[in-house]
Amino acid sequence: MGWWQVNADTLAGSRFVLSPLAETFACLQLLHRGTPAHPGEQAWLRDHLPGYRARLAADPVTALLVRAGLGRSWIADFLTPTPRSPETFEEGVARVRSARPDAARANLRISLAGPLPASLDRDDLPERAAGLLSCVWTETVRPDWDRRRRVLEADVVARTAQVSRGGWAAALDTLRPGRTRWLGDNRLQVNPHEYPPREISGAELLFVPVTPKTGWVSWEEPDRYAVVYACAGALADPGGTPVPASLGALLGTARAGVLVRLGSPLSTSQLVAVTGQGLGSVGRHLRVLLDAGLVERRRAGRSVLYSRTAAGQVLVDAVEAGNRAGTRRS
């Protein structure tokens, strides 16, 4: 397994940061893979995959570059510069564009685990990669960036609360299940591959959420290391929890939407992210649900988390049972 040696001071000083470039590269991976992880990704791919494939069909060199750079067990380093905070997309993609051509070719040989195809033995690979990332950002990410940012911020709130409740070990074990976990003795597993360990004590350690179901690690030795991970499922697919029509008729669709998404604890900012409602609207619905005894709240570190009470659970279960019975009768 690949693991990093992390002392207590480095872990205590680590931070969660948002990266528009990381989000864009994760979306590039999703387009390349073409397989959705949930209904939200399915709808997104339906809108954007045809245009992406048409673009690569018209540019076979860049198409080959993408296939070569996204290796089975290694991503070409120049495609994923280690996130910095704060950094705009334009600042991040400029670092991709400024990669040395010889370094980009060397990175591709590693991701390919073999020789470089003759058509990629050229100096414009960083410019091509930056151009493709810019297209993905402009056409598929930037129009939706405000919502994506709320989702990412909500995930950071949840992870920070998890650290305050159970410590870093518990939080790290859930970042990338099966890949990232705390091994003890100051060791952080970052992937299941047999790579040499890295001593990163004293460096800046960053944790970077993205909304597509993917992840990777990157570094700028010896100063900065990052673990990029997928948001929690409930946040990554805001449309994944349907509101039963009968519950919407009883409580109002917006208020019912808040209640059905509180099967697990969420903060106000997380609810804003997954419902698409404004902060004021979510706050008003929570007050009504609290007064009715359908939800409860508790503090976790600096965050306040809301969840359904037993009464709220009974109501949701009864509505769902009624809907199932109605479906069988029909």
* CA-based R_g, the chain, Å: 22
The token duo for 154 is 């909500």
In whole angstroms, give the CA distance from residue 285 to residue 255.
5
pTM greater than 0.85: no
Which residue spans within 161-308 are E strands per DSSP?
181-184, 187-191, 198-199, 204-210, 216-220, 224-230, 266-267, 295-300, 303-308
Q: Compute the residue count for the chain.
A: 330
In whole angstroms, give the CA distance from residue 94 to residue 82.
13
* Phi, psi (rounded to 5 degrees) for 253: -60, -45
- The answer for residues whose C-beta is within 8 angstroms of residue 221's C-beta and 6 or more apart is none
* CA dist 31 → 36, 48, 74, 132, 151 (Å): 9, 8, 18, 12, 20
What is the pLDDT at residue 166?
A: 76
**Sign (positive/negative) of CA torsion 153, 159, 161, 163?**
negative
What is the pLDDT at residue 236?
A: 54
Q: What is the pLDDT along the chain (330 residues), one digit of tens a residue?
A: 589 999 989 988 999 999 999 999 999 999 999 999 887 888 899 999 999 999 999 999 999 999 999 998 899 999 999 999 889 999 999 999 999 999 999 999 999 999 999 999 999 999 999 999 999 999 999 999 988 888 888 788 778 777 876 788 878 888 888 889 889 899 999 988 888 899 999 999 999 999 999 999 999 999 999 999 998 755 555 555 678 888 988 899 999 999 988 877 788 887 887 787 888 999 999 999 999 999 999 876 667 888 889 899 899 888 877 666 554 444
In whole angstroms, give the CA distance from residue 105 to residue 311.
61
Cβ atoms of 4 and 222 within 8 Å: the answer is no
**Preceding peptide of 222 cis, ω within 30°:** yes
Cβ atoms of 133 and 163 within 8 Å: the answer is no
Find the distance separating the first CA and the last CA of the chain, reported in whole Å. 53
* Phi, psi (rounded to 5 degrees) for 129: -65, -45
